[in-house]
A and B are shown apart, each in its own frame.
Chain A
Amino acid sequence: MPDFKVEIRARLAEVGLSPVREAEIVEELSQHLEDEYERALSCGASEDEARQQVLEQLNTPDLLRRELKHVEPRGSEDPIALGTERKTNIFADLQQDLRYGLRTLAKNPAFTSIAIIALALAIGANSAIFSVVDAVLLRPLPFKNPNQLVMLWENAAHLGFPRDTPSPANFLDWQKQVTSFTGMAAMSERSFNLTGLGEPERLEGRRVSANLFELLGVTARLGRTFVPEDDKPGTHVVLLSHSLWQRRFGSDPGIIGRALTLNGESYTVIGVMPPFVQLPGFDNRNDQLWVPIAFPAEEAAEHGNHFLEVIARLKPGVTLKQARAEMDTIAARLEQEYPTYNTRRGAVVVPLHEQLVGEIRPALLILLGAVGFVLLIACANVANLLLARAAVRQKEIALRLALGASRSRLTRQFLTESVLLALFGAGLGLLLALAGIRVLRTFIPVTIAQVETITIDGTVLVFTLFVALVTGIAFGLVPAIQGSHFNLNNTLKGGGRDSGGGSKGNRIRSLLVIGEVAVSFVLLIGAGLLIKSFLHLRNLDPGFRSDHLLTMKVNLSEVKYPDRERRAAFFDEVMRHVHELPGVQSAAVAGNLPLTYNGDSMSISVEGVPDPPPGQQPDVVYRATGPGYFATMGIPIVRGRDFTDQDNGDSKDVVIISEKTARQFWPGQDPIGKRLKPGSSTSNSPWREVIGIVKDVRQNDFIASPKRQMYFTYRQLKNIAANALVVRTSIEPVSLAVPVRNAIWSVDKDQTVADIDTMDHIVAQAVARQRFSMLLLGLFAALALLLASIGIYGVMSYSVAQRTREIGIRIALGARRADVLQMTLKQALKLVGVGMILGLAAAFLLTRVLQTLLFGISATDPITFLGISLVLLAVAILASYIPALRATKVDPLVALRGQ
C-alpha cells in the first residue's frame, strides 16, 4: 500500500494547521485514498495505475489547501507537539492534560471511585477541623483592634486562685493609678427575672462599666450604649442582646424607651446590640442583657469580695511586658496600703485572645495534627493505587515514549491526573465537611468561644484547595516519576511481569505501607490514651449521686424577697408542694449546684487558733443549702447531722464542713462542736458551731481535687441566698420537670424557673471538652486504621498476584497450602512489624503533647501501648489474610501456563 500520508501532508504544509488537527486530517484523507486505491486494484488496475488514479484527486493545484484554509483555523505559533521535542504552549498543554486526565479517570471508574472516596474522607476531615480552628483560634475577635485587649486578674495563687476575680476596690484603684491602658472596664455576672410580660423568665446578663462597649469598639444596632451618666447607683437603664430582642420582643423597632420589669424594678431600654455580640469572660456566657455596674458606695469600698471581670485596652505603643510591669508595681503598692486584703495578691495581665482560647488551643491543634496524619495515610493509599495502575499502563506509556514523548511531559501528565483526583476528592470532601460540621456543633462544648460562627467560609475553601493541590502533588509525584521512568525495551518486548517499576516499585509500595502503619499506630495510641483518660475521669467519684436527680435554678427577686424570713417562707411552701408530688423521693433547697458554678469563697478563722498574718487567712468555698440537701444529693454525712428546720435565725449559728476542711483545721481531732467564723476572729460575724462533716464533693471542677468546703443553712443567712432546687426522683427525673415548676408557680406565679436539667447531664457537660477530644481523635484513629488496613490489603493482593508463578512453582514442588499461607502472612507481618516499631518510636515522642489532655495516666502508659499494638496486629493479620488465602488457592498448572 503506497503511503498517501506523505502526499497529503505535503499539500497541507502551507495551511498552517495545528499538529493534532493536521494528523487527524491526514489520517482521514489517507484512509479514503487507500480505499480508492483498493477499489482501483479490484477493478483490475495495476498498482501503479491505481496509485496514479488516486493521486489525481490531489492534483488540482491548491484545491485542498484553498478549501481547507476557508474552513480550518490556523494553528498556534508555537504548536503543541505531543511526543516531540518541539516548543510547547503551557496552557494548551494543560488543557490537553486535563482532557486526557479526565478521560483516563473516567475509563477506570472503580479505581477513580476508591481514590476519590479515600481522599474525600481525609480532606473533608481536614476541612471540618480547620473550620473549627479558623473560627476559634484564627479569626480575629469581633472587637476593634482585638490584639490590644487584655483581661486583668488578681493573682492569689497561694490560695489556689492564680487568676482570681478582682474586688471592686482593687479595680477602682487600678483604674485610678494605671497609665498603660486607654481604658479599663469591669463586668459582673447578674441574673435577672423578667416579669410582667407573660411567662416570667430568668435571663443571664451582666453589670458592666459604662465605657465597656466603647472600649471594645462595639456600637449599638438600635439606640445607644451606656454613657458615664448611666453609671450611677439608681440609674435603671438596660441594653438588650439581639437574640433577646428578636425572641422576646419580635424585633420591635419601637423597643427603645420601653420599660421592663427586671427583678421587680423598672428598667428603660436604651439600646439593642448587634447579633453575636458576646462579652469575653471567665466562661462563654450567653448574656441576654446588660445594665450599668454603678457601684454603690459600700460595694466600691469592698476589698474582700472578689467577683469582677476586668477588660482593658493597651495604649498604642505600650507592650504587654510594660503593662505587666506597671500592674506589678501597682499591686505591690496596694499590698502596702491594704495589708489585710492585698498581701501576696499580685496582678495578672492576659491577652484577651489567650484568655478565650488558651485552654482549648492544645486540643484543637492536636486534632489538626491528627487529621493531617489521616491525610498522609490517605495519600499513601492513593499513591499505592497509582503505582499499581502505572504498572498496568506500561504499554501505553512505552508507546508514547517511543513516539517521542519526553519523560517530563509524561510526568506532568500523571501529576495532572493526580491533582484532578485530589480536586474531585476535595469537592466531595467539602460536602462531607459541611455535614460533619453540623454534627460537630452538637457536641463541641458550648464554653468554647465563637462556636456559633463555625462554618465553611472563604478561608476554609482556600485551605481546602491548597490541601487538594499539595495532596495531589504529594501522592502523585512518586508514581508519576516511577511510571515514566522504566525500561522501555523490556516493556515493548512484552517482558511484562517484572516491569512497571519492578522491584523498585515494590519497594516503594512496601515503604508506603510501612509509613501508613506507623502513622496509624501513633493515632491509635493517642486515641487509646484519651479513651483511657476519659474513662478514668468518668469513673471519678464526684462525691454525690448524680442519677435520678432533677435540678433547677430559682433566683428570688431581692425586691420581692428582701430578707431571709420571706425567702424561707417561700421555700418552705414550695418544698411542701414538691414533696407531695408522686415520684419525688426527697427534695431540698440549694445554693449553686456542684459543677455549675465556680463557687464563692471566704476567709475564716478557727476558734482558739490565733489569726494568721494578713493575706494568709485560709480560704474556704461556701454554699447555702437547706435541710435534706445532703440526703437528696447522695452526699454521705460522715459524722454529725444535717441541717433541720430548727436551725433558723432564732437558734445558734451552725455550719457543716467537708472532710478536707476538718482534716486541715482540726487534724486528729473531732471537729463536731468546734467553732469557726467568716473573716478574722475579731470580725462581727457570729461564731458558727460545726454540727456535721460530709464527704468532699467536686464542686467547681471535675478534674481538680476538691477544695476546702463548708455549708450554711439558708435560714440563717442574711445576705447569701439559696437559688436552686434539687429533687431526687424514683422515676425519670425529666418527667417531673413540669410538675415541680408548676408547684413553684403555685406559690408565686411570677417566679422564674430556669436551667432545668438533670444532674447526670450536668456531670456529662463538665467533661464535655475531654469527651470532644476523645471522640474526635478516636474517629480519626479508626479512619486511619481503616485506610491502613486497605493499604495492607492492597499491597498484599498485588504482591500475591505478582508472585502467582512463584507460588505455583512452590506448590508444584510440594509446598503445602499452609506453607504458602505462612509465607504470605510472614511477608505482611514483616511490613507491619517494621511499621509498628517506627510508630512506637514516634508515639513515644509525640504523645507527650497529649499530656495536657490526659487525666490519671501518663503519655507513655504501657498498658495502652501494649493493647493498641495487639489491636493493630490483629487488624493487619485480618487485612492480609484474604490475599494470603487467595495465594493458597493458586492452581500450579494455571500459574505456570500463564508464563
Chain B
Amino acid sequence: MTAVLRWYMALQYMASPVPDRELKKGSAELMILSLLENRPRHGYEIAQLIELRSRGAIRFNVASLYPLLYRLEKRNWIRGRWVEKAGQRRRRYYRLTASGKNVLSKQRAGWREFVEAINLITGIQRA
C-alpha cells in the first residue's frame, strides 16, 4: 500500500482529526469485507488480523471497529451470529453475505483503479 495512503490510514485510526472520512471508511470496509471472505471471524480476530497484516500500521480501536461492523451488518453486507463452542464463552462471529461479496468485488476494483490513478498523478511507484 502506498505511503500516502498509509499516512491517511494511520491518521484515521490513531484518533487524530480526520482528513477524509469517506476514504477512511471505504478502506476500512474493504479490509473487513476481504477478511471475512474466506471464513467467519469475530471482532477481536478481525482487529488482530488487520494489525498483523498491516505490520502494525493500522490498528482498530474498539470504539470504531464495532460501530463499523454494526454498520456493515445493517447494510446486510455481513451477518453476525452468537456461537457457543464447547469449553468457550460465546462469541459473535461475522460472515460475508451474498450482497457483501458483491460489494467486496466492486470495492476491490474501485480501490485498484484509485491507487493506480494516484500513482500516475504523484509518480509514486507501487510498493
Contact = CB atoms under 8 A, between A and B. Distances in A.
Interface of A: 24-25, 28-29, 31-33, 35-36, 57-58, 60, 63-64, 67-68, 70-72
Contact of B62 (A24, A29, A71, A72): A29
B66 interface: yes
B66 A28 contact: yes
B64 A58 contact: no
A895 to B, nearest CB: 30
Contacts of A36: 44, 62
A67 B63 CA distance: 8
A64 B92 contact: no
24 contacts: A28-B43, A28-B66, A28-B92, A29-B62, A29-B66, A31-B91, A32-B44, A32-B62, A32-B66, A35-B44, A36-B44, A57-B61, A57-B62, A57-B63, A58-B62, A58-B63, A63-B15, A63-B61, A63-B63, A64-B62, A68-B70, A70-B67, A70-B71, A71-B67
B67 A67 contact: yes
B1 to A, nearest CB: 24
Given A64-B63, A70-B67, 4 more contacts: A24-B92, A36-B44, A64-B67, A67-B67
A71 B74 contact: yes
A33 B62 contact: yes
Contacts of A25: 66, 70
A196 to B, nearest CB: 72
Given A32-B47, A32-B62, A60 B70 contact: no
A71 B64 CA distance: 11
B89 interface: yes
A31 B92 CA distance: 10
B25 to A, nearest CB: 11
A24 B43 CA distance: 13
B64 to A, nearest CB: 6
Nearest to A39: B48
B71 A71 contact: yes
Contacts of B15: 60, 63
Contacts of A72: 70
A369 to B, nearest CB: 51
The 3 closest A-B pairs by CB, nearest first: A67-B67, A64-B63, A63-B63
A713 to B, nearest CB: 91
Nearest to B91: A31
Interface string B50-74: 0000000000011111111011001
B79 to A, nearest CB: 14
- Contact count band on B: 10 to 19
Contacts of B70: 25, 68, 71-72
A31 B89 contact: yes
Q: Could you tell me the dominant secondary structure of chain A's interface residues?
A: helix
B15 to A, nearest CB: 5
Tell me the interface secondary structure of chain B in the complex.
helix
Nearest to B65: A32
B11 to A, nearest CB: 14
Interface in B79-110: 89, 91-92
A388 B66 CA distance: 43
Nearest to A30: B62
B44 A31 contact: yes
Nearest to B47: A32
A60 B43 contact: no
Contacts of B43: 28, 31-32
Contacts of B68: 67
B44 A60 contact: no
B58 to A, nearest CB: 14
- From A28, A63, A64, A72, residue with most partner B Cβ within 10 Å: A28
Contacts of A57: 61-63
A64 B62 CA distance: 8
Nearest to A60: B15
A58 B91 CA distance: 21
Contacts of B42: 31
A268 B70 CA distance: 82
Nearest to B62: A57
- Among B47, B62, B68, the one with the most A-chain Cβ atoms within 10 Å of its Cβ is B62
A21 to B, nearest CB: 10
A384 B21 CA distance: 62
Nearest to A8: B62
A72 B66 CA distance: 11
Nearest to B80: A28
A60 B67 contact: no
Nearest to B46: A32
Nearest to A65: B63
Nearest to B68: A67
Most chain A beta-carbon contacts within 10 A, residue among B44, B63, B74, B91: B63
Contact of A60 (B63, B66, B71, B91): B63
Contacts of A63: 15, 61, 63-64
Nearest to B92: A28
B64 A67 contact: yes
Nearest to B15: A60
Contacts of B44: 31-32, 35-36
A67 B69 CA distance: 11
B61 A60 contact: yes
A57 B74 CA distance: 24
A68 B63 CA distance: 9
A546 B92 CA distance: 80
Contacts of A31: 42-44, 89, 91
Contacts of A32: 43-44, 47, 62, 65-66
Nearest to B45: A35
A35 B91 CA distance: 12
A31 B91 CA distance: 8
A35 B65 CA distance: 15
A70 B64 CA distance: 12
Contacts of B89: 31
A69 to B, nearest CB: 9
A662 to B, nearest CB: 93
Contacts of A33: 62
Contacts of B61: 57, 60, 63
A36 B60 CA distance: 12
A506 to B, nearest CB: 35
B95 to A, nearest CB: 15
Nearest to B60: A57
Interface string B19-43: 0000000000000000000000011
Nearest to A56: B61
Q: Which of A25, A32, A58, A71 has the most CB of B within 10 A?
A: A32
A36 B65 CA distance: 14
A549 to B, nearest CB: 74
B40 to A, nearest CB: 14
A537 to B, nearest CB: 67
A64 B63 CA distance: 5
Nearest to B73: A71
Contacts of A29: 62, 66
Contacts of A60: 15, 61, 63
A32 B67 CA distance: 13
